[in-house]
């Protein structure tokens, strides 16, 4: 009887620890993540706005995705993270490199022509060898609702500009 009670209490303790761990895992680390995503407005015609994110799921590649804009580090995205930036319209190079235990893998480059006054939603493709996915605003809004701003890395992309939004 005592053995069964001991097993039962051990199981309860294990369940309690697992339950606590899963609750803690849902809370974003304030040193890594900032505010939750909230919808943004339209930018002026002289700017392009990019919202680049990784979906929030425990089943994703846990390694950091280094995001580069025109060969300069823009952000380091973890699952459930997003970055938002504005830049002058025109041709730009976006690159992604996943950090691995062997270091950082080869970059996947993607050249795009950004139009003024537009917002682009880009999602990190979890396949290390594919460029980002262009996502519709509707789908992005659903996925971004579960994300937080990535704040643990400082951007080196010197061509960014402060976003200027149109009046509502």
pLDDT, tens digit (0-9, with 9 covering 90-100), for 98-147: 877 665 567 889 999 999 999 999 999 988 888 999 999 999 999 999 88
Q: What is the pLDDT of residue 3?
A: 44
Mean pLDDT by 10 residues, the chain (168 residues): 40 34 49 76 96 84 88 90 94 88 74 97 89 94 88 71 93
Supply the pTM of this predicted model: 0.76
User: Residue holding tokens 């979906």?
Assistant: 55
Rounded Cα–Cα distance for residues 146 and 166 (Å): 26
Q: Which residue has the tokens 């493709």?
A: 125
What are the strands, taking DSSP E only, across the chain? 33-36, 48-53, 65-69, 72-77, 81-87, 90-100, 103-104, 108-114, 118-123, 133-134, 148-150, 160-161
Handedness of CA 38, 39, 44, 46 (dihedral sign): positive
């Amino acid at each position: 009887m005592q053995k069964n009670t001991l097993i039962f209490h051990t199981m309860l303790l294990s369940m309690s620890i697992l339950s606590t761990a899963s609750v803690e895992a849902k809370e974003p680390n304030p040193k890594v993540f900032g505010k939750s995503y909230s919808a943004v407005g339209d930018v002026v015609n002289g700017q392009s706005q990019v919202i680049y994110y990784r979906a929030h799921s425990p089943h994703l590649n846990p390694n950091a995705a280094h995001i580069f804009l025109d060969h300069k580090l823009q952000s380091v995205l973890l699952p459930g993270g997003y970055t938002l930036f504005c830049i002058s319209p025109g041709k730009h190079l976006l690159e992604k490199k996943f950090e691995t235990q062997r270091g950082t893998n080869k970059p996947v480059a993607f050249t795009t022509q950004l139009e003024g006054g537009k917002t682009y939603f880009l999602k990190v493709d979890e396949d290390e060898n594919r460029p980002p996915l262009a996502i519709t605003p509707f789908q992005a809004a659903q996925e971004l609702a579960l994300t937080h701003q990535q704040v643990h890395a400082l951007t080196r992309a010197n061509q960014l500009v402060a976003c200027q939004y149109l009046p509502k």
